[in-house]
Amino acid sequence: MELDNIEKLLQKYLDAETSIAEENELKRYFLSNNVAPHLEQYQALFGYFSISKQEVHTKPLQLKTQKKNWKWLSVAASVVLLVGLYTGYQKNEQRKAEIIYNETQVAFNMLSTNLNKGNEAIAQLQYFETAKSKIFK
């Protein structure tokens, strides 16, 4: 009967459903010398838990704490920000210059068209002037 109860408790333990009292009962059973042969594989598990509780570390642990130098990070972030602003400003200025250049091209085309009209009018006046001078001579 006790073996059947231990097997049920062991199954509950493996399913993570045992209480602390039931785990203590399992620990007492597996630390005793009369463990059933088919359950001896679990004896090392419960033996390890009882041995590890008794271990004491006498040597103090020295933890190395590394202070990260955050100043360099802020300097690097500032440099990246300034470079980004400078390149953004340069691209903006270039875009403005291209817009002004295109507007100037349009103005020059209009001026050229109007000058060509003026040249045609002057050519007609010259033709008229030559015809007038032939007549009045």
Query: Residue 31 contacts by C-beta under 8 Å, 6 or more apart in sequence?
Result: 43, 46, 47, 50
Examine residue 60 and state whether it is found in any structural domain, yes or no. no
Is 120 contained in some domain?
yes
- Clarify whether residues 37 and 98 are in a common domain: no
Q: Is residue 78 located within the same domain as residue 137?
A: yes
pLDDT < 50 positions in the chain: none
Q: What is this structure's pTM?
A: 0.39
Range of the domain at 132: 71-137
For 18-55, the pLDDT digits (tens) are 888 888 888 888 777 788 888 778 787 777 766 777 77
Number of domains making up the chain:
2
- State whether 31 and 91 are in the same domain: no
Q: What is the pLDDT of residue 118?
A: 81
**Judging by beta carbons within 10 Å of its beta carbon (0-12, 13-18, 19+), is residue 71 exposed, middle or buried?**
exposed
